[in-house]
Structure formats: C-alpha cells, structure tokens
Structure 1
Amino acid sequence: MASMRDTSVFPDPVYKETVLRPLFDGAKDHHADGFRAIDRAHLVMLAETGILTRQQASSIARALVAIDDEIDLDTLVYTGEVEDFFFLIEKNLKARLGPDLAGRLHTSRSRNDIDHTLFKLGLKPRTEMLLEKMRVLLDAVLSTAEREAETLIVAYTHGQPAQPTTFGHYLGAMAEVLIRDIEKVESAIEVIDLSPMGAAAITTSGFPIDRERVAELLGFARPLENSYGCIASVDYITGIYGAMALSFLHLGRPIQDFQVWSSFEVGQLYVPNALVQISSIMPQKRNPVPIEHLRHLASQTYGRAKAMLDIMHNTPFTDMNDSEGESQAMGYQVFDAAYRVLDLFTALIAQVSINPERVDINTKRSCITITELADSLVRLEDLSFRQAHEVSAAVAKAVVAADGSLVEDGYAPFASAFEAATGRASTLSPERFAELVSARHFVSVRDRLGGPAPTALRASLGRYRQKLRGFFDQAARRTETLKSAHKELNDKFNALLGAA
C-alpha cells in the first residue's frame, strides 16, 4: 500500500512556512499571556480538586515559572521541531520534569478548549478598549449637544434643505444610535465572557474538574455551559464583529453629513484650523481632510469586520481552523482601525462648531420654515391642513422665484394666496407672520418627546447621560471582577510555588 511506502517526515517544508510558522508567530505575539494564565488556572484547579497532588502541582508550577524566565519571546524563532506554541511549552516541561509528571498538566483539557479560551482572552481586553473609546465618543457627542442645544442648523432630507432644527438635536439622534451600538457590543462581550475551559476536546472529562473555578480564576463571568458549543459555536466571533460592522456603518453616516456640511457651498459646519490641511498649490483652500480619513477608516473597519463574518460563513458546526489563529489575528486589525476612528471622531466632534451666518442664509433661501406656516394656519385661521398646505406652497413658490426671504419677503404673497384660497383676509399681521416663519419659532414650538425645543431636548440629553453613566458602571464592575481574578490566580499559583 502507498502508506507503507511513505517515508516523509512532518512537517512538510512548505506547510511549515505557509501554515505552522505564521500560526506560531501569531500565538507568540498575541496569546503568550493567555497560554500562561490558562496553564496556571488549570493547574490550580487540578490541585484544588485533588486530580493532582499538591507536590505534583508544585513541581509543575516551578517548571512553568522557569520556562517563562528562560524563553525570550522577542527572539524566539519557529524551527519546526514542535507543531505549535502549546507543544513548545509541553516539550520544555518534559525536559524539566519527565514525560509522566509534565504530561499531567494536560489532564482533562484539549487544545480545542484551550484555543477558544485563548481567543476569548484575546478579545476581552480589545472589546473593553473598544467600549471605553465608544463611551468617550458618546460623552463628547453629548457634551457638544449640550453646548449646541439651541444652535440652529438646516436639516436635510434627500440631499435638500428640509426643516430647521438644532445641532444639539442632530447630535442627540447620533447619540441614540451610538447608545444602541454600545449595547450591541455589550451583548457581544457577554458571550465572550463565557469560559470554554473544561470542555476538553468536545464532551468535558471523566475527571472531577471544576469548570466554574477555572472560569473564576481566568476572570470570566462563568463557564459556557454546553461543551460541544464551547468548541463549535463561533457566535462570540460573529457577535463582536457583527456589532462592530454595524457600529462603524452607522458612524459613517454622520461622517458623510459632516463632509457635506463643511463644503464651501453649504458651509454650516466649521472645522477649526487644527483639523484643516491647506492645498499644496491652492492657498485659498481649507481642506477638512480628517473627515475624509474618518470616512475611509470607518469603511475599512466595517469591511474588515464584515470579512470576519464572511470567513465564518458556511463553516461546519464543529471545531475548525477557520475560526482560529490566523483569523483571530486578522480580526485584531478591525480593532486597530476602530480605535483610530473613535479617537479621531472624538477629537473632531469636540471642536467643530456651526456657522450661524451660513445657516441663516441657507434658511432664508430655502423656505424651510414653511411647514410651520401651514401648521399655524390650521391653529390660528381654522383651515384644514390641506388648504393651509396649498396656501403655504404658493407662498414658498413665490419667495423662491423672487430669490427672497420668507421672513422679509413672504407676507405680501401670503396675504394674496390666503385671500385667493379663502375669500377673506388673514388675521395675521406682518409682524406675527414674520415670527411664525422664523427658524427659532419653528424649533421652539416642537416641544414634544424627542423634539428639538429646549425643554424636550434637554430632557432627552439627560436620559442619554444616564445611559452613559450606566455603561461606565458596567465597565467598572467588569474591571473589578478581572482585577480580583488576577489577584486570586496569582495568590493561588504562588502558594503552589511555595508548597513542599
């Protein structure tokens, strides 16, 4: 048979260079601390449950410390003598302790549950950093919204001027989406925070292991219950990258608005000099290029996150390499891009301001307060909304045709259109008309839940602030849990070092 004539030796040189070396380097660069923590937590549990004697555990603990002291990760080069980083540690343990005692550390565990635990340990701090930066951005958005709560802007629909509102109201909408996106990431970290250790290869172990204890020592909230799911479900991957894809898709939309608003033709958003580059040949040009960088970096973050979902598509529901080392390393690039977006957007949102002169010009030219004229005619002149709408439309058409201002030039066409439609003169004076069609009046009467009027908006911003405080509290609790776990693991492992 062909197998009997096979004299090849693992690893094939091409496989070594194309697969094993990149995986080894990735584990060394990203997961060495995770391997160390897992070995120590598992060893403490084996000793506490009596699966290993105190003396056996103590010898293994001292050997692990010696290996840590001797291996220089910065100079460590993959030689192919062992398959991966896990087997490198095991090889070194055997050299110090002999195969019997060294092999006891691997009792009731597998590279399957180790790997998924490693990946979760790698994702946890990155996700916490993501959440921290999202909270800081939300804080900046709310601070600017509070500062600009009564600053008028032109709101656009379909790329055209639509109605007046305030910058604070616009940012409040952005804050609501950001809050929901933070909640998505919070939901994702809840899944990441479930420990796979103790699942072993697939079905747990016949040894009396304590999965809850290992989860506690590693700083997880609790074990992921079903052992098959521990090695097969990748929803901790799709959950976080799905949440990131949506979050940065959503951030890209106000970024695009800011690009339009800061254009010369619109000019309602002012970007300060610190965030503006000047053309190398056209000295009059103020280029707010950080907005462009935000746009493409947000798109890159979205694209990379979506690629992680694509990698998981149509994979079998089992342990598989598709979700492991190199895919994890690729995923970390999503976080790197995300951090840049969040930091830059936070800096931008805190410094931009509204150009009131351009807002006033664009408001006058576009007749965007005309909706309130129609509403006022219903309330004050007892017209149906359809009749009021037709009168208002005639007024807007006449003002735009004359390239005029609704406040300054709208009363005469209004009086004419009203009389033509109703057969009587309006009771509104020119002064009352001017007040009703002003942008400030338009905003002030929209004092309903979620509206832009000062009282309604301040109430909304207060609720968003309360949400933000809740996010900070959740993060503090997780940080305290992790801090306690690190201390507990360190104390218990050091106690093994000192055992006779």
Structure 2
Amino acid sequence: MLHSENFDEKILDKHVIDTIKEDFKSFNMQMDVHFAHVIMLYEQNIITKQEAGSILGALFEIENDGPESIPIKEGLTDLYSNLEEFIVNKIGIEVGGKLHIARSRNDMNITIERMFTRDSLIKYVDALIYLMETLLVEAEKHKNTIIPGYTHHSQHAQPTTLGHFYLNFFHTFKRDIERAEASYKHSNICSMGGAALTTTGFPINRQRVSELLAFIKPVEHSMDATSSLDFQYESASAMAIFINNVGRMIESLLLWNIREVGLVRLALKYCSYSTIMPQKRNPVALETLRYSGEWTYGALSTMFNTLKAFTPGNGREPGFVTSLYMEISEKIIPSIYLLEGIVRTLEVNKERGLEITKEGFSTMTELADELVRSKNLSFYAAKKIVGKLVVIAHDEKIPCEKIDSNLIKRAAREALNIEVELEEEKIKTAIDPEKNIQERDIMGGPAVT
C-alpha cells in the first residue's frame, strides 16, 4: 500500500501501482537527477537564478517530506509525472514547467536505472567481500580438516581439506567481484542529455550533469543513451553467475549434511522443524539459496526475451526489464549474507571427515604414484595394478587400511602378469590421507593453499 492520502488503488491498474512502488525505491536518485538538471539549466543560462531557486525550493520540500507527499493522480502512471504536476501546481506552470526543459522521461529514467544499478553493484560487492573474509577465516580454521574430494558429483576422488574447499570458492567469488567491476564500469555513464532520442536544441552541458551525478562520463550517443539496457543485462548476468557458483557450493553442503555422511550440520537457526517428525532438522536455508538461483535464471531469461527484438528508442518494455533487475539484486544480495552466516556457523565433524576419507579408497592415486616412483613403472601400468587391487578389495570386503604388499603382488599378477613388491612402510604412507595432502604441495594444492 502506498501511503498517500490522494492515492486510490481502486482507480489504478496493477502495473501503475507496481511502477510507482518501484519509483519509491529509487526516489532519492530521482531527486538527485532533478537537482543536477536544474543546476545545469541555471549554469547554462537557460533558466534564471530566481526560477532555479523556486524549482529547487519545491524539490527540497518534496525530498524532505518523502515520496508519500506527492499526490498520485489517475492517468499519471509514474512518480515523476505526478511530481512534475505537483511542482507545477505549487509554483505555477511558467516556472514549474521549466523543470522539463531539454530532457525527457526517457533519458531521466535510464539515468536513474544506471544509478540504481551501480548502487546495487556496490552493495553486492560489499556483501561478497564480507562472505570472502569469512571464507578466509574458516579456511584457516579448517586447513587440516581432512575430507574427501569428489568428482562426478558423489564419487570419492582424492583426499583434500575443508580449508581447500573453502578457498576454491574464495577464488571463484573473486572472479564474481571482477565481473561486477566490469558491470559497474558500463553502468557508471550518464544518459542525461539524450532527451527523448536525439538530444535537444537547448545549449545544455551533458558533462556537467554527469559530474554532478558522480558518473565517469556521459553516454556518447543519444540513441544509445536512451534505449540501451545492456548494462542491466550484464549486471544481472554477473549475479546469476554468482548464484550459480553458490549452487555448486551448497550442493556439497547438502550432501555432507545427510545423516549417512554426517560430515557437517547446519546451525539450528538455519534449519526448520517438521510438524510431524520430531527428529527432523531441515536445511531450509540451503534450499532457499537454491531457489534464489532457480528464480534468478528465469528472471534473467525473461529480461533477454523482453528486449530481444526491441527497436532503439524507449517504450514500456524496458520498465519491465528494470523491474526484474531490481528483484534480482534484492534477492541475490541478502542471499550472500545468508550464505556467510551458514558458513560461519557450520558444525563440522572433523573425525567423521577423516573416517570417510579413509573408507573411500581416495588415496589410490598416491599409491599408483608410489609404484611409479619406487618401481619405475609407467603410470598406465601402475593404474592398472591399483585398479585391479580396488576391485579385489571391494569384492572381498578388504578395507583400505588393510592393503599390504601381498595384495599388491596379487593385483600385479592378475592385472599385468608381472611381479611387483612394494615395501609395507611405503604402502602405509601412500594410503594415509594426511600424508597424501602433505604431498600435494604444488601451487594450488591443499598443502599450500
């Protein structure tokens, strides 16, 4: 409900109501555009000092009283149209009507959208930095917390650490920040002065308005200035990539949270209870994050589809695209803080992590490597032998820690019909998850990151 005594939702259709509600979100930005435009008109001697003073006085009053103070009239479909009507009624058409000299709703709206977009990107990056700081803290805390590394979604691959896992996403989110920086650069140019489509015959100063609104420069071409929303596609795409990266992270957390795995458990405040099953601790915060991604992909697709054949110039459709961008940013930024809280409070079972790593035969790559080093075998031959060893161990229910020289001899005979004997101490070292991680001291490995 919009809080204006003159606002009657019964006489306005939904899209008008939604448009004005969105305008409320960017009210301060709209006011800044008005102030900058009036100052420029005065400096260019297009309006007098007295006229500028009267218009600015009315604008300051509106800014102080807030958008709710503007009467909303039937037939005026956005906040600006109602604001302009209010100013004309307040100070007269001869002076108040000059607010609209040398501009259009087209260049004004897209300038506000650029301001909203760059502001949202700043908030987005601030949130990402906060999340990444937590990942660094938790990575240090868990640099020796051994867990299985997985490939093919759920298959034990090689031992790693939870700290190594966290740093993976630290670096991933760093690229998300870089994408946001590029998006900010393309958003931080000013559309004012493009007017409706082809600029204006008045001697305006586009550079001055750009400076007053803290843009880096004006959009050079007027048609581009008033009709291009690719900066919002780019910003929304950057956020969609981020939440897709989050989806990959939380899939692991969901798997680790399964009782049969028991590696982690979400803090209670990020869970819900069952109305019928007393034992349940539902990881609803992770499910919320997944939905944020699914919804964002759909919204981004709609943004592209809405303007895929839209000719240069303005119209109603760009407003729908901006509405979707606003919703995306308002969904993604809180999601970052939600993920930060989940990571910071995650309950980790270190003993279970080591246990399931030992059980999963994830040290077999190192065993094959040791055969290459100690017995001068090709890696292909060593892999064949260890592969056969794993099959035998599985069929005969031999646990990983029971692998010995006799089992390697048998596997070598059955796989390649050769004799291979490896010292027990080297076998023990090779199948030790902690020693495996210590061996991975190449740049980027779990022993050094």
TM over 0.5: yes
Give 1:263 shift. 0.5
Residue 17 of structure 1 pairs with residue 20 of structure 2: no
Q: Distance in 1 between matches of 2:66 and 2:271?
A: 45
- Give SS of 1:282's match: coil
Deviations 1:393-449 (A, max 9, x none): 1221222223232233343311333466575452x3212211112111222112212
Mean Cα deviation higher: 407-416 or 160-169: 407-416
The answer as to whether partners of 2:128 and 2:336 remain within 8 angstroms in 1 is yes
Aligned equivalent of 1:415: 409
Q: Distance in 2 between matches of 1:91 and 1:431?
A: 87
Q: Distance in 1 between matches of 2:88 and 2:72?
A: 19
The answer as to whether partners of 1:246 and 1:302 remain within 8 angstroms in 2 is no
The answer as to whether partners of 1:241 and 1:309 remain within 8 angstroms in 2 is no
Aligned equivalent of 1:318: 313
Give 1:41 shift. 0.6
Residue 367 of structure 1 pairs with residue 348 of structure 2: no
Over 3 Å counting, the alpha-carbon distance change for 1:58 and 1:248 in structure 2 is same
- Give SS of 1:287's match: coil
Q: Distance in 2 between matches of 1:364 and 1:270?
A: 21
Aligned equivalent of 2:145: 151
Q: Distance in 1 between matches of 2:179 and 2:231?
A: 12
Deviations 1:85-107 (A, max 9, x none): 33333333333443333332222
AA paired with 1:26? E
Greater relative contact order (Cα < 8 A, sep 6+): 1
Match for 2:22 among 21, 26, 42?
26
Q: How does 1:80-159 map to 2 (within 5 A)?
A: 80=74, 82=76, 84-158=78-152, 159=154
% identical equivalent positions: 28
Over 3 Å counting, the alpha-carbon distance change for 1:74 and 1:95 in structure 2 is closer
Aligned equivalent of 1:228: 223
AA paired with 1:142? L
The answer as to whether partners of 1:25 and 1:78 remain within 8 angstroms in 2 is no
Give 1:264 shift. 1.4
- Give SS of 1:163's match: strand
Deviations 1:438-485 (A, max 9, x none): 1112221122122122x3x1xxxxxxxxxxxxxxxxxxxxxxxxxxxx
Over 3 Å counting, the alpha-carbon distance change for 1:284 and 1:409 in structure 2 is farther
Give 1:257 shift. 1.4
Q: How does 1:259-274 map to 2 (within 5 A)?
A: 259-274=254-269
Aligned equivalent of 2:36: 41
AA paired with 1:52? I
Q: How does 1:53-68 map to 2 (within 5 A)?
A: 53-68=48-63
Deviations 1:104-152 (A, max 9, x none): 2222211111111122222232222122111111211222122212221
Deviations 1:265-311 (A, max 9, x none): 22222334444444444334443332222222332233333333332
- Give SS of 2:147's match: strand
Q: Distance in 2 between matches of 1:31 and 1:288?
A: 35
- Give SS of 1:198's match: coil
Q: Distance in 1 between matches of 2:222 and 2:388?
A: 71
Mean Cα deviation higher: 178-187 or 412-421: 412-421
Q: Distance in 2 between matches of 1:284 and 1:35?
A: 52
Match for 1:400 among 371, 394, 416?
394
Deviations 1:9-55 (A, max 9, x none): xxxx999525445434432x223322321111111111222222323
Give 1:82 shift. 4.1
Q: Distance in 1 between matches of 2:17 and 2:348?
A: 54
AA paired with 1:57? A
Q: Over aligned residues, Cα RMSD in angstroms?
A: 2.5
Over 3 Å counting, the alpha-carbon distance change for 1:398 and 1:357 in structure 2 is farther
AA paired with 1:346? E
Q: Distance in 1 between matches of 2:420 and 2:275?
A: 61
The answer as to whether partners of 1:399 and 1:410 remain within 8 angstroms in 2 is no
Over 3 Å counting, the alpha-carbon distance change for 1:389 and 1:104 in structure 2 is same
Deviations 1:336-379 (A, max 9, x none): 22133211110111122542333333233321111111111111
Mean Cα deviation higher: 306-315 or 209-218: 306-315
Q: Distance in 2 between matches of 1:67 and 1:278?
A: 48
The answer as to whether partners of 2:389 and 2:411 remain within 8 angstroms in 1 is yes
- Give SS of 1:449's match: coil
Structure 2 gaps, min length 5: 1-8
Q: Distance in 2 between matches of 1:345 and 1:21?
A: 33
Q: How does 1:176-255 map to 2 (within 5 A)?
A: 176-255=171-250
Q: Distance in 1 between matches of 2:10 and 2:313?
A: 27
Q: Distance in 2 between matches of 1:73 and 1:58?
A: 21
- Give SS of 2:13's match: helix
Match for 2:45 among 38, 47, 50?
50
Q: Distance in 2 between matches of 1:307 and 1:397?
A: 50
Over 3 Å counting, the alpha-carbon distance change for 1:346 and 1:14 in structure 2 is closer
TM-score by length of 1: 0.81
Structure 1 gaps, min length 5: 1-12, 458-500
- Give SS of 2:68's match: coil
Aligned equivalent of 1:491: none
Over 3 Å counting, the alpha-carbon distance change for 1:37 and 1:445 in structure 2 is same
TM-score by length of 2: 0.89
Match for 1:449 among 436, 443, 446?
443
Residue 174 of structure 1 pairs with residue 153 of structure 2: no
Aligned equivalent of 1:487: none
Q: Distance in 2 between matches of 1:436 and 1:176?
A: 29
Over 3 Å counting, the alpha-carbon distance change for 1:357 and 1:82 in structure 2 is closer
Aligned equivalent of 2:3: none
Count of aligned pairs: 439
